[in-house]
Amino acid sequence: MLAPTNALLKKSWERSRLNGVNALTAKDAILEEAQFRQYREQKEEFMRTVDPTMEHLAYWLKSSYSIVVLCDPSGYILESKGDPAFLKDTEKIQVHRGACWSEQVRGTNSAGTVIVEQKPLAVVGTDHYLPSNHMLYCAASPIFDPYGELVAVLDFSGHSAMYHPSLLGMVDVMARKIEDWLLIHRPDRQMVISLYPEQSAKHHALLAVDQDGVVTGGNREAQQLLHLDKKRFGQVHLTELIADIEPLLGRQKDTAAALTMPLHAKASGQRHWHAKVLIDTRPPQLAASPPSRPKPTRPPNRTGLTSFDELYGQDEQFLAAIRLAKRAAKTDYTVMLFGESGTGKDVVSQAIHLESNRADKPFVAINCGAIPKSLLESELFGYEPGAFTGAKQSGQPGKIEQAHQGTLFLDEIAEMPLEMQVALLRVLQDFTVHRVGGTKPIHVDVRIITATHTDLWQKVQEGSFRADLFYRLQGVQITLPPLRERADRLQLAALLLQGIEAQLGTGPLTLSASAKKLIESYSWPGNVRQLAAALREAAFLSEGGTIEQASFPAYILSSYSPPEAIELAAPTANTEKNEIVEVLRQTGGNVSQTARILGIGRNTVYRKLKKLLDQDGPHP
């Protein structure tokens, strides 16, 4: 094979060669359907953000023998849409949901190589490392969160003969639009400022500042324009980056008008910038000013972890669980969180970590049910260089090592294979790990939090979970109540609506009486996660500020029985019973005559009497 001449692609080919990439192992790097569903469920909020863009691009590409693909930072395809014929053609090379297209697995390709290089890149035809992918063109761009961390890769793919250089620019523009949306719509109390110099208005630089004027986020343009290292988010005041910016930091009476201000970036010297406040959700009584006290020493929570202060609940069962979690956080006990899917086990685990003395150390989460068994060992324990085909030449620390001095969250612990249970038990006994392919023990100090929606003790009885590991993990058990048992459903719905208002950019949203009744009486098998999704759809479909019951998802309405229907059923049964009894009394117990008067058959009378007597229970 002839290596490409592009410098980035040449480096990628060399990495692919060192990683031992080959088509035989690549074709097996696919999540099973159940694993993929769990894997994608963890990214549900981000997927809701990008779905409108994906739909728009898919519609645009569907007649051009091309598709749009979204990958996560591990290289797994979260979504692929577009031309149905091309989607079918690419099935044979696994361009579909759940397939891993990291560079370590499939060699040089746009999504996998962009994950490594973190800059837009096109890989066309023979630029792909694996010959099986030579049929493709791929143009991809990274998507960064407001803190500058990679969250996904957006990719256009099609037949190599149809590639045009403009596609790379287009996919990069769309990726940047998604980044801007993520920055503007995050729930933080913030002011977002749009800046651009008069000489170049191609892309707006967006900066987010908190109520103290500290820069907490920015898009790629802002980082480049101000020479702002993403590590400085949460550490630098805006006045340190831009001179004469103080007037803009005060609360603006009119945020719609763009201001031309004689500003200059202290790093670039550029003057005469346009500046505009896009949104301002800072508390009304506060306005940012240059810091008169020491700068904050603790950066913002870039991992998006949730604290106890952000958990809402007035239900006594829920509050009791949170009180227990707060007590457990002060210890190093292992914690086992139990609750149905969607009850908030993941966010409670994060809150425990942030409340503990390990808060400034790593919080590492792994879903034991979402990772293929063949990869779970290397994910947990890491591996040495050359431990297996496709292993990095530098080796890789596992999740347990990465959580050293911090917290390891093992979600869906009941799904962990038995052989991995044995290995985890050894870690909990002596707190050392051995990487795959290695012999040297590595000391670790981790606090373990587990979560499950199944009865783990029942799994022990069935023989699918080790009793000795169960006892090691037991520590403190915290049970989160399902939403249907919580008495604060309406209050919780109101809180969720506040976030939805910000997402949709609407005015205040309220629930009609029938919508409130549905929220209070529906069973909510998906719990808080389902309620949040249902409210988002209902808010989007509703016209005006009032959400009606009819706007809720059809699958909910089809299985929902209003309380009135249940209440009406009992009087109907009682009326029928009273009527039959009264006619029997009038006829002296003559069933045949009763049947004729009622216009029903004798057997029907007997059957209804038996049913009514059974409902009443045994008689003396």
CA 218 to CA 474: how far, in whole Å?
A: 43
Please state the rounded mean pLDDT for residues 278-307: 54
Structure tokens at 411: 């979600």
| Spatial CA neighbour of 334 closest among 396, 267, 413, 401 | 413
CATH number (domain holding residue 402): 3.40.50.300
The answer to whether the beta carbons of residues 66 and 406 sit under 8 Å apart is no
Strand ranges across the sheet with 77-82: 77-82, 66-71, 150-159, 136-144, 121-124
- The per-residue pLDDT for range 76-108, each reduced to its tens digit, is 999 999 888 888 888 888 888 888 999 988 999
Q: Is 257 helix (H, G, I), strand (E, B) or coil?
A: coil
- Res 613: pLDDT: 60
User: Is residue 418 a part of any domain in this protein?
Assistant: yes
Task: Say yes or no: 576 and 604 in one domain.
Answer: yes
User: Which residue has better confidence, 428 or 122?
Assistant: 122
CA 35 to chain centre: 15
- Res 390: pLDDT: 62
DSSP-derived pairing of the beta strands 121-124 and 442-443: unpaired
The answer to whether the beta carbons of residues 184 and 279 sit under 8 Å apart is yes
- Res 227: pLDDT: 80
Q: Is 277 helix (H, G, I), strand (E, B) or coil?
A: strand
The answer to whether the beta carbons of residues 383 and 391 sit under 8 Å apart is yes
- The per-residue pLDDT for range 340-369, each reduced to its tens digit, is 988 999 999 999 999 999 998 999 999 887
| Spatial CA neighbour of 368 closest among 390, 400, 340 | 400
Long-range contacts of the stretch 584-593 (C-beta < 8 A, 24+): none
For residue 223, pLDDT beyond 80: yes
Task: Say yes or no: 129 and 41 in one domain.
Answer: yes
| Spatial CA neighbour of 183 closest among 153, 208, 150 | 208
- The per-residue pLDDT for range 19-75, each reduced to its tens digit, is 888 888 777 788 888 888 878 887 888 888 888 888 888 888 877 788 999 999 989
CA 554 to CA 563: how far, in whole Å?
A: 18
Helix (H) / strand (E) element for 68: namely strand 66-71
Q: For the chain, what is the mean pLDDT?
A: 81
**% of the chain surpassing 70 pLDDT:** 80
Task: Say yes or no: 392 and 541 in one domain.
Answer: no
Q: How many domains does the chain have?
A: 5
- Res 299: pLDDT: 44
Beta strand spans in 112-211 (E)? 121-124, 136-144, 150-159, 191-197, 205-209
> Residue 452 region, left (φ>0) first, then alpha (ψ -120 to 50), else beta?
beta
Task: Say yes or no: 469 and 348 in one domain.
Answer: yes
Most confident of 228-232, 253-257, 390-394, 460-464: 460-464
- Res 587: pLDDT: 65
How many Cα atoms sit within 13 Å of 360 on the Cβ side? 4
Please state the rounded mean pLDDT for residues 463-481: 91
- The per-residue pLDDT for range 562-614, each reduced to its tens digit, is 765 444 444 444 556 666 776 676 666 777 667 666 656 666 776 677 666 66
The answer to whether the beta carbons of residues 261 and 273 sit under 8 Å apart is yes
- Res 283: pLDDT: 64
Cβ atoms within 10 Å, residue 560: 15
- Residues present in the chain in total: 620
Q: Which of 462, 479, 496 corresponds to the end of one domain?
A: 479
End-to-end CA distance of the chain, in Å?
92
Task: Say yes or no: 453 and 577 in one domain.
Answer: no
Task: Say yes or no: 61 and 101 in one domain.
Answer: yes
Task: Say yes or no: 492 and 345 in one domain.
Answer: no
For residue 450, pLDDT beyond 90: yes
User: Is residue 542 a part of any domain in this protein?
Assistant: yes
- Res 1: pLDDT: 57
Structure tokens at 406: 């911090």
User: Which residue has better confidence, 264 or 529?
Assistant: 529
Helix (H) / strand (E) element for 333: namely none
Query: If you search the block for the tokens 């970036």, which residue do you land on?
Result: 265
Q: Which of 109, 143, 178 corresponds to the end of one domain?
A: 178
> Which residue type sits at 90?
T
User: Which residue has better confidence, 292 or 455?
Assistant: 455
Q: Which of 263, 280, 297 corresponds to the end of one domain?
A: 280
* 539 backbone dihedrals φ, ψ, rounded to 5°: -65, -40
- Res 69: pLDDT: 94
CA dihedral sign of residues 518, 521, 525, 529: positive
Task: Say yes or no: 455 and 579 in one domain.
Answer: no
Question: Torsion angle of alpha carbons 522, 528, 530, 534, nearest 10°?
Answer: 80
| Spatial CA neighbour of 114 closest among 78, 146, 143 | 143
Structure tokens at 357: 């003395």
Classify residue 357 by burial, with Cβ atoms within 10 Å: 0-12, 13-18, 19+.
Answer: exposed
Please state the rounded mean pLDDT for residues 279-294: 52
Strand ranges across the sheet with 259-261: 215-218, 205-209, 191-197, 273-280, 259-261
For residue 184, pLDDT beyond 70: yes
Task: Say yes or no: 372 and 418 in one domain.
Answer: yes
Please state the rounded mean pLDDT for residues 12-19: 90
CA 240 to CA 287: how far, in whole Å?
A: 17
CA 558 to CA 488: how far, in whole Å?
A: 24
- Res 289: pLDDT: 41
How many Cα atoms sit within 13 Å of 157 on the Cβ side? 32
- Res 296: pLDDT: 40
- Res 154: pLDDT: 96
- Res 569: pLDDT: 44
User: Is residue 301 a part of any domain in this protein?
Assistant: no
CA 507 to CA 515: how far, in whole Å?
A: 18
User: Is residue 581 a part of any domain in this protein?
Assistant: yes
* 276 backbone dihedrals φ, ψ, rounded to 5°: -145, 135
> Residue 125 region, left (φ>0) first, then alpha (ψ -120 to 50), else beta?
left
CA 465 to chain centre: 28
User: Is residue 303 a part of any domain in this protein?
Assistant: no
CATH number (domain holding residue 239): 3.30.450
* 141 backbone dihedrals φ, ψ, rounded to 5°: -140, 145
The answer to whether the beta carbons of residues 144 and 178 sit under 8 Å apart is no
Q: Which domain holds residue 251?
A: 191-280
Helix (H) / strand (E) element for 605: namely helix 602-616
- Res 598: pLDDT: 65
Predicted confidence band at 198 (pLDDT cuts at 50, 70, 90)? low
Task: Say yes or no: 589 and 440 in one domain.
Answer: no
CATH number (domain holding residue 508): 1.10.8.60
| Spatial CA neighbour of 399 closest among 390, 452, 370, 389 | 370
User: Is residue 260 a part of any domain in this protein?
Assistant: yes
Task: Say yes or no: 245 and 341 in one domain.
Answer: no
CA 59 to CA 507: how far, in whole Å?
A: 30
User: Is residue 40 a part of any domain in this protein?
Assistant: yes
Angle between the N-to-C axes of helices 418-430 and 373-381, in degrees from 0 to 180, rounded to the nearest 10: 10
Which residues have C-beta within 8 Å of that of residue 565, sequence separation ≥ 6? none
- Res 597: pLDDT: 61
Task: Say yes or no: 167 and 221 in one domain.
Answer: no
- The per-residue pLDDT for range 397-418, each reduced to its tens digit, is 889 999 999 999 999 999 998 8
Which residues have C-beta within 8 Å of that of residue 107, sequence separation ≥ 6? 12, 13, 16, 19, 21, 26, 128, 129, 130
For 478-543, give the secondary structure using H, E and C.
EECCCHHHCCCHHHHHHHHHHHHHHHHCCCCCEECHHHHHHHHHCCCCCHHHHHHHHHHHHHHHCC
Please state the rounded mean pLDDT for residues 287-298: 41
CATH number (domain holding residue 590): 1.10.10.60
- Res 577: pLDDT: 62
User: Is residue 293 a part of any domain in this protein?
Assistant: no
